[in-house]
Amino acid sequence: MLIFMRTTIEITDELLRKAKEKAISEGVPLREVIEMALRSYLARPKKRGDYKLKWRTEKGRILPGVRLDDRDALFDLLNNIR
């Protein structure tokens, strides 16, 4: 069983005109043209940006009292820093 829902959307006049022309030229309802366009858009894979990780190293030293092998002590130390 198919369930249809009515909704209102706002689109530009030019886009609606083009969609209506497409529907008329293909002999299909406007609803079908809009559904096909929306399905096509949603089926496209997400474009991943050209993200590039910039790795930066810092020189430093471990401060007195800091133990990297004791997670709980490290969290306590970080929570007490003001």
Which residues have C-beta within 8 Å of that of residue 77, sequence separation ≥ 6? Answer: 65, 66
pLDDT in tens, 2-20: 788 888 999 999 999 999 9
pLDDT in tens, 47-69: 777 888 898 888 888 888 788 89
Tokens of 21: 């022309």
Which residues have C-beta within 8 Å of that of residue 48, sequence separation ≥ 6? Answer: none
> pTM for the full model?
0.53
14-36 average pLDDT score:
96
Q: Averaging pLDDT over each range in 5-14, 28-37, 38-47, which range is the top one?
A: 28-37
